[in-house]
Amino acid sequence: MITKVGVAIISKNNKILIGKRSSNVPFTGLWEFPGGKLEKNETPQQAIERELKEELNVESIVKEKFLELLWEYKNKTYNLLIYHTEIDDSTLELNVHDEIKYVTIDEAYNYDLLKSNYKILDKLK
C-alpha cells in the first residue's frame, strides 16, 4: 500500500520554510517541509491546506505542483506530492513543531532533515 503525503514548499524573501518536529510526534527533532498524509477522498491540495491549518494555524493557497516522488522507508512506500504554497503567516502558531525557520536552500542542507526532504532540496536547487 502506498501512503500519499501532501508537502508544502513555502517561500518568502528567497527563503523556504522548514519546521523542527516536536517530541510528541514521530521523527522527533528532525526538520521537514510542512504537510501530511492525505485523508480519504482528499486531494493533495486539500491535505496541504488542512495540515497547514492544523500544524501552523495558517490559511494557505496551494499553487502549482512542483514535484512528485516515491520514497521507501521501513517497508512502506510514500508518494510525496509537493506543491508550491503561499501562506498568511500573521496567525502562525507552532502545534507540531518546536521551531520553524525560513532558510535559504543552501542553509537547509545544514539541518537534520527527514531524508526524503533532501531529495526535494536537490530539485529546488
Domains of the chain, by residue range, sit at 2-124
* Reported pTM: 0.94
Residue 23 has pLDDT above 90, yes or no: no
d(CA 51, CA 35): 5
Could you please report the per-residue DSSP string of 17-34?
EEEEE-TTSSSTT-EE-S
Q: Which residues contact 41 (CB under 8 A, 6 or more apart)?
A: none
Tell me the fold of 2-124. Answer: Nucleoside Triphosphate Pyrophosphohydrolase (3.90.79)
In tens, the pLDDT along 32-81 reads: 999 999 999 999 999 999 999 999 999 999 999 999 999 998 899 999 99
All cell numbers assigned to 25: 510526534
All cell numbers assigned to 112: 537534520
